[in-house]
């Protein structure tokens, strides 16, 4: 066998590092039991091993790169070091040798830069740059080709398909939503038209009613139905009072009674909310002045027609009190007159008269009641007197400015006294709602 012509490292001259042996055989290096104590080298081998590259491959690559660096660029890397060593070793020479050495060092640096500069095509930096550039161009081309493919190899194909489906679905939903909106708008338009039609009808009815109300007002102004309107207002006030005491008020002004007449406008059935009525009283409302005889004819006729035990004549103002009669005075044990506001009947005055008349009906059969009849009569008389005084004060205040606080306080005290007297009568009567 022909011996290798390349210089060999003799076995007996093999370089050793610790326990390791390194031999150069032809184009190969044989390394045995070599330990390299270098933290950076160990880290690089571990990191590349984690990425899937074997330690032997990494070490071999490191030796190859390191050998090239040592071979090609050691001189340039160590120029400063060589300069320092030369200056240190030749420190005893004179200045001429130093100048010569400096010139030689400059020439050496220029030669190293020319041989191993970054612009040299054979330098390691230039080779790495070319490799990286070529790899980048190749990856860019492959990525462009991959993303432009129309088959399943394109990773964006599924995304494009899903986006296309989503766009189609969105368009369909939009179309359906627009259809629903158009239908809703049409329904709303029809509903609006119906409402407009109904409003027109209501407006027409309101206009007709307004015309009717105007005609009614004109008729009332002429006196054709003035008494009826006042009658209704008084009835409404009596009805509210009756409901609060367990009684029932009936508006009977348009109904004929037992005698065939329409005397009596409001009939109150005492205790009718809880069972059979235990007594009846009748109210006659007038906004015109009656004579004494005519007033008594109306009240007596009302009690007869409505089978009532007590009658009250409510008149619209003091000027309407029958001649020769007074308000809040009990006549013949079963009749009384009370003055009320023609536009807004005073429920306070009506309430006090209502309570007085109610008690008079309940104690009418006092001979059969097991109660202090004398005490009831006395309390009722005191209540009637106090009621008369309170009503007089109230009427006097009707034309006085609201700033008359003192007078109004006196009225409140008088009203309280009336209520106290009536409550005394009611307590004497107790819960007896019918003669026993």
Q: Where are the domains of the chain?
A: 11-144, 156-224, 226-429
pLDDT of residue 344: 72
- CA 188/CA 360 separation, integer angstroms: 65
Tens digits of residue pLDDT in 328-369? 888 998 999 998 888 776 667 788 889 889 988 888 755 445
Tokens representing residue 186 in the block: 């049409």
Per-residue pLDDT, averaged over 405-417, amounts to 68
Please tell me the predicted confidence (pLDDT) of residue 104. 60
The owner of tokens 């409302």 is 285
Q: Does residue 183 have a pLDDT over 80?
A: yes
Report yes or no: 250 and 257 within 8 Å, Cβ to Cβ: no
Closest CA to 29 of 41, 20, 38, 40: 20
3-state secondary structure of 25: strand
CA distance 186 to 180: 10
The residue-averaged pLDDT of 229-249 equals: 91
Q: Are 301 and 273 in contact, with CB atoms under 8 Å apart?
A: no
Which tens digit of pLDDT belongs to each residue from 103-151?
A: 666 665 666 566 555 555 566 666 677 777 887 887 788 777 766 777 6
Do 289 and 321 meet the contact criterion of CB atoms below 8 Å apart? yes
Place of tokens 């050691």: 74
The pLDDT value given to residue 247: 94
Which residue bears the tokens 């008084």?
Answer: 234
Contact 278, 217 (CB under 8 A): no
SS3 (DSSP) at 311 = strand
Greatest alpha-carbon pair distance for the chain in Å reads: 171
**pLDDT value at residue 1:** 46
- pTM for the model stands at 0.42
Model confidence band, residue 397 (pLDDT cutoffs 50, 70, 90): low
pLDDT tens, position by position, 48-95: 889 888 888 888 888 888 887 777 665 555 556 656 655 665 555 455
Q: What is the mean pLDDT of residues 198-212?
A: 75
Two tokens, residue 225: 């139905």
Which residues, in sequence order, are bridge partners of residue 331?
Answer: 335
Is the pLDDT score of 317 beyond 50? yes
How far is it, in rounded angstroms, from Cα 337 to Cα 251?
19
Asked whether the beta carbons of 425 and 379 are under 8 A apart, the reply is yes
Whether residue 227 is predicted with pLDDT greater than 50 in this model: the reply is no
């Amino acid at each position: 066998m022909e011996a290798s012509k390349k210089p060999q490292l003799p076995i007996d001259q093999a370089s050793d590092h610790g326990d390791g042996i390194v031999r150069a055989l032809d184009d190969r290096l044989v390394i045995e039991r070599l330990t390299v104590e270098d933290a950076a080298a160990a880290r690089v081998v571990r990191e590349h091993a984690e990425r899937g590259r074997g330690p032997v491959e990494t070490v071999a690559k490191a030796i190859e790169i390191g050998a090239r660096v040592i071979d090609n660029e050691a001189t340039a890397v160590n120029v400063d070091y060589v300069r320092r060593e030369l200056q240190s070793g030749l420190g005893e020479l004179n200045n001429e040798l130093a100048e010569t050495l400096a010139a030689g060092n400059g020439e050496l640096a220029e030669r190293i830069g020319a041989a191993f500069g970054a612009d040299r095509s054979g330098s390691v930096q230039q080779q790495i740059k070319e490799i990286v550039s070529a790899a980048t161009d190749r990856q860019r081309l492959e990525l462009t080709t991959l993303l432009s493919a129309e088959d399943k190899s394109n990773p964006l194909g599924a995304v494009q398909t899903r986006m296309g489906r989503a766009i189609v679905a969105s368009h369909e939903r939009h179309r359906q939503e627009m259809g629903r909106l158009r239908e809703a708008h049409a329904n709303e338009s029809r509903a609006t038209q119906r409402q407009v039609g109904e409003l027109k009808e209501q407006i027409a009815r309101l206009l007709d009613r307004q015309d009717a109300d105007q005609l009614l007002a004109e008729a009332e102004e002429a006196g054709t139905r003035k008494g009826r309107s006042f009658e209704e207002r008084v009835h409404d006030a009596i009805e509210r009072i009756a409901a609060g005491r367990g009684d029932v008020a009936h508006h009977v002004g348009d109904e004929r009674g037992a005698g065939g007449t329409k005397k009596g406008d409001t009939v109150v059935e005492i205790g009718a909310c809880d069972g059979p009525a235990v007594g009846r009283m009748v109210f006659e409302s007038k906004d015109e002045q009656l004579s004494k005889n005519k007033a008594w004819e109306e009240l007596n006729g009302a009690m007869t027609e409505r089978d009532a035990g007590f009658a009250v004549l409510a008149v619209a103002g003091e000027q309407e009190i029958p001649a020769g009669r007074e308000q809040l005075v009990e006549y013949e044990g079963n009749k009384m007159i009370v003055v009320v506001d023609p536009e807004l009947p005073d429920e306070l005055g009506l309430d006090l008269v209502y309570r007085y008349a109610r008690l008079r009906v309940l104690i009418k059969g006092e001979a059969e009641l097991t109660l202090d009849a004398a005490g009831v009569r006395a309390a009722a008389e005191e209540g009637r007197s106090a009621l008369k005084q309170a009503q007089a004060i109230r009427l006097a205040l009707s034309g006085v400015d609201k700033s008359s606080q003192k007078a109004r306080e006196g009225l409140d005290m008088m009203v309280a006294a009336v209520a106290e007297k009536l409550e005394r009568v009611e307590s004497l009567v107790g819960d007896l709602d019918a003669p026993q």
